[in-house]
Structure 1
Amino acid sequence: MNRPDFQRYQKEFCAHARSPHLNPRPAGVSAKRIGVYAQLLFNNMESTLSGCFPVCKKVLGVRKWNRLVRDFFAGHRCATPLFRQIPEEFLQWLQQTEPVGIPPFVPQLAHYEWAELAVAVADAPMPARWSADGDMLEGKPVLTSALMLLRYDWPVQRISPRFKPIQPLTEPVCLLVFRDAADEVRFMELNTVSAHLVELLQDGSRTGREALMSIAQTLRHPDAEQVVAFGAPILADLKARGAILGIVPL
């Protein structure tokens, strides 16, 4: 069945607005007029994405960045009308399509930058019964629920226009992104033990001592109490930085 004229016009208009160099403009529409719409739409998309991925834009440079945004705008069908969700769709598109001509670290760098937005807008329910103070070894530490524990093969936290790594790391870097009690998004680089400690505490079922004793068992450490003594300052640091909000007392 033939499309009605207005639907055919809409399709041609949108196709040209998304990718003016590949799709002709609808008949009877001046290049100047439709060019205004096409540029406005692209500028809105670019502004939304550059706000979430500023380091990616700086590292790629304006020309490569605009080409990347143009390819996404032209070829991806967004599943949401909400602008704050478009960066996640861009990230998924970037990971799935692996665009030619961009450094191999860019998808992970983009994920790291997107994580800040994801944590900033995440719901953060709290346990019904908890205290801001208390013994984190004997109580169950309460992590902020607006938190992401991330591992990357590239040193994403250090990448900049002056530092563009050529090879991935020999060991993944562990990064904690979280929102503190003042609703500030913060970042921490963790070693393997600290990252494992955070993983064990995330479900809220263990005391600090139980989590550290589990780590001692995993490490097959001959003195579990030494691991507990080593881990106590890590718990204190996580609390001082705002990743741990308090404890659920037993």
Structure 2
Amino acid sequence: MSETLRLQQFALARHLRDPDRYPAPTGIEARRLGVYRALLYGAIESLLAGSFPVLRRTLGDKRWHARVQHFHANYRSDTPLFPEVAGVFVDYLLGIQLDAPWQAELAHYEWIESYLCLSDAEDPAHDPSGDLLQREPMLSCTARVLAYRWPVERICPEYQPNEAPASPTLLLVYRDRQLQVRFARLTPMAYRLLVQQEGTGLQRIRALGGELEQGLALLEHLRDQGVIIGSR
């Protein structure tokens, strides 16, 4: 590629993304440029609207389009893959000043569903029927244990909190054996049991001060759901 052509392509791309800041390249009809601008923005906006339907409805048309336009014009994404753009948008929200403090967490909550649904990760070697007390329980590679400051599962156009609750929202998100992504609330004990990275089931339960019978029942229940795949 010649240097002249490369510079022309960059000039066109800058204008299509942010026509208010970058002038149109010479030699291209204004009507045609308008069509290109609309197609490029429309593709990105449609993709993000499908990935974040609750965030889009909650922000409303004006705030949503302003957010997407700012992302489209200013954020540099290195991925050429459309399925990864939603994750890039979450990264963008984490790095800017937001007009509603729950936006980034709500976006992450919505994104994690599609991420786990499309994941092709494979579980490491494990014993599916292994002893969960005497050996180390292993979490499925398509399960995530999450803690949010904001009640992300409740936020909607009718509920937009201004202050975070005193207690975090603890959630388990996992892909079941039928390849459906499920969400479940966690008790503080269940959350702490699952986020521990090392130790046998017995060691984890004792470290939390929990009852052995209750802790084992929880581990076995999670294995039945496919959240825990067995022991190491």
TM-score (norm 1): 0.82
**Distance verdict in 2 for CA 1:114–1:129, change over 3 Å:** closer
**Distance verdict in 2 for CA 1:24–1:138, change over 3 Å:** same
**Distance verdict in 2 for CA 1:199–1:7, change over 3 Å:** closer
Match of 1:141 among 137, 140, 148: 137
Q: Indicate the residue corresponding to 1:219 in structure 2.
A: none
Shift of 1:124: 3.5
SS of 1:58 mapped into structure 2: helix
Is residue 171 of structure 2 the alignment partner of residue 175 of structure 1? yes
Q: Indicate the residue corresponding to 2:54 in structure 1.
A: 55
Q: Following superposition of structure 1 onto structure 2, how do residues 84-123 of structure 1 map, counting pairs within 5 Å? A: 84-99=83-98, 102-123=99-120
Asked if 1 retains the 8 angstrom alpha-carbon contact of 2:171 and 2:184, the reply is: yes
SS of 2:115 mapped into structure 1: helix
SS of 2:95 mapped into structure 1: helix
Asked if 2 retains the 8 angstrom alpha-carbon contact of 1:150 and 1:175, the reply is: yes
Asked if 2 retains the 8 angstrom alpha-carbon contact of 1:149 and 1:177, the reply is: yes
CA-based RMSD: 2.4
CA distance in 2, matches of 1:237, 1:108: 28
In structure 2, give the amino acid aligned to 1:235.
L
SS of 1:181 mapped into structure 2: coil
Asked if 1 retains the 8 angstrom alpha-carbon contact of 2:55 and 2:103, the reply is: yes
Q: Following superposition of structure 1 onto structure 2, how do residues 18-29 of structure 1 map, counting pairs within 5 Å? A: 18-29=17-28
Match of 1:215 among 208, 221, 225: 208
After superposition, the C-alpha distances for 1:82-114 in whole angstroms (9 at most, x for unaligned) are 112222221111111224xx3111011111112
Shift of 1:247: 4.2
In structure 1, give the amino acid aligned to 2:110.
E
Asked if 1 retains the 8 angstrom alpha-carbon contact of 2:16 and 2:40, the reply is: yes
Q: Which runs of 5+ in 1 are unaligned?
A: 217-223
User: Identical aligned pairs, as a percentage?
Assistant: 34
After superposition, the C-alpha distances for 1:120-176 in whole angstroms (9 at most, x for unaligned) are 333443343413x46543554332122222111100111111211111111211112
CA distance in 2, matches of 1:195, 1:4: 55
Provide the aligned length of Structure 1 versus Structure 2: 231
Q: Which has the larger radius of gyration?
A: 1
Asked if 2 retains the 8 angstrom alpha-carbon contact of 1:149 and 1:195, the reply is: yes
Asked if 1 retains the 8 angstrom alpha-carbon contact of 2:147 and 2:168, the reply is: yes
TM-score (norm 2): 0.88
Shift of 1:119: 2.4
**Distance verdict in 2 for CA 1:215–1:37, change over 3 Å:** same
Is residue 146 of structure 2 the alignment partner of residue 162 of structure 1? no
Q: Indicate the residue corresponding to 1:241 in structure 2.
A: 225
Q: Indicate the residue corresponding to 1:231 in structure 2.
A: 215
CA distance in 1, matches of 2:18, 2:123: 46
